[in-house]
Amino acid sequence: MMAKSKLLLPPLAFGQNRSQVDLDLDQMQSRVNAITNWVSEYDTLGKRNLFQHRTSVYANEGVRVIAVASTPTVMKVNDPDYTIAIPLQGSVESWIGRHHYAAKDGESAVFTSKGKRHSEGGDKSCLLLSVSEQRLFNTGRIMLGERFEDILKPDTPRVLSTQIHQVNFKSVIQQTCHLIDQFNGDLSLLKSFNVDENITRLMVMLLAPNHFIKPEEFRKASGGHRKVINHLCDFIDHNIEHTLSLTELERVSGLSSRMLQKEFQKYFSCTPMQWVRQQRLSHARKMLNRPAARMTVTQVAAACGYSNFSEFSKQYKEHFGELPSETLKQAKN
């Protein structure tokens, strides 16, 4: 017990004075599961008798902000919400399937979609922003229009930059945490300041920064090709089952391949053909999650423009961390 008392945890982003330190792993796991809607398991990285953990939570109307400070731990969690993990001291690492994502303090954050993930790290203080699908999608639609899912890519885990041009999102989020502390976590007062919506909007901006924060040359540009790109996206959606080439996209849009590459990078942070692939996979996932009677994976692959079934399964697993047959089985069960 004396050894534990000598350990110093990094400070929490908020709620430091209202939180308590857990010295027992099982006790901490029980408490965290009670205050979140996760299904999670924890273990220590190192000596169990040196374990320390401190947590503070703000939660309201589909938004949850969790401040965590901990000695080295490993966590397996099944998260029903969309979450961004922002390291304030130390680093955050997550594994989803076989894919590894790492974020460093002051540079980046890790975005994870709904489902299972494995996370670990050394001595750290981090902030977790979790938003429900309904809340994220409603705000995304308001901020980005009906094509918000294509822009946000909510089913694609990835590392996000927290320093975008002249905007430091880590500092912006810490200001929100400071506000939570100033109001002592009072939900009615924080609701008056629209904290829940501001946190959701911050998540949308972090997922699609180029739509809100642009370098000087983008600010000066007229953006005259946006309507053309929207028309092209509609064409792709309506022809998702057909073979689409870059030449076909040039013909439909009237833009050169070079211009298409530039415009898709600007609006969607990917190439035109990568966007087509994302649309095919997203459409396939929606079909598999809402299967018609006697639907097969082969039928879904064909309906989404795949003639090679094994290639479809490979791309699907790389994108979502599970085979299409597993998604279909879970939906039917």
Q: Model confidence at 214, in pLDDT bands (50, 70, 90)?
A: low
Lookup: tokens for 308: 């090679």
What is d(CA 29, CA 39) in angstroms, rounded to the nearest whole number?
10
* Per-residue pLDDT reduced to its tens digit, 87-142: 988 888 888 888 888 887 777 899 998 888 888 777 788 999 999 999 999 999 98
Q: Which residues contact 89 (CB under 8 A, 6 or more apart)?
A: 10, 105, 123, 124, 125, 126
* Per-residue pLDDT reduced to its tens digit, 144-181: 888 899 889 999 999 998 887 678 888 889 889 999 99
Q: Model confidence at 6, in pLDDT bands (50, 70, 90)?
A: low
* Per-residue pLDDT reduced to its tens digit, 221-252: 445 687 888 889 989 989 999 888 888 999 89
Model confidence at 8: pLDDT above 80: no
Q: Tell me the longest C-alpha to C-alpha distance in the chain.
A: 73
Q: 222-332: same fold as 2-211? A: no
Could you state, in order of their start, the residue ranges of all structural domains in the chain? 2-211, 222-332
Tell me whether residue 243 is exposed, middle or buried, using C-beta atoms within 10 angstroms of its C-beta: 0 to 12, 13 to 18, 19 or more. exposed
Map residue 281 onto helix, strand or coil. helix
Model confidence at 2: pLDDT above 70: no
Rounded average pLDDT over 183-189: 85
Ramachandran region of residue 43, left (φ > 0), alpha (ψ -120 to 50) or beta? beta
Q: What are phi and psi of 42, to 5 degrees?
A: -125, 155
Contact 51, 23 (CB under 8 A): yes
Helices (H), 155-245: 169-182, 187-192, 195-207, 216-220, 226-238
Superfamily of domain 2-211: Jelly Rolls (2.60.120.10)
- Count the neighbouring beta carbons within 10 Å of the beta carbon of residue 189: 14
Residue with tokens 């303090």: 105
- Count the neighbouring beta carbons within 10 Å of the beta carbon of residue 141: 14
Q: What are phi and psi of 149, to 5 degrees?
A: -65, -40
* Per-residue pLDDT reduced to its tens digit, 263-306: 888 888 788 998 999 889 988 988 898 888 788 999 999 999 99
Contact 300, 284 (CB under 8 A): yes
Looking at residue 211, its pLDDT comes to: 80
Map residue 240 onto helix, strand or coil. coil
Superfamily of domain 222-332: Homeodomain-like (1.10.10.60)
Looking at residue 26, its pLDDT comes to: 83
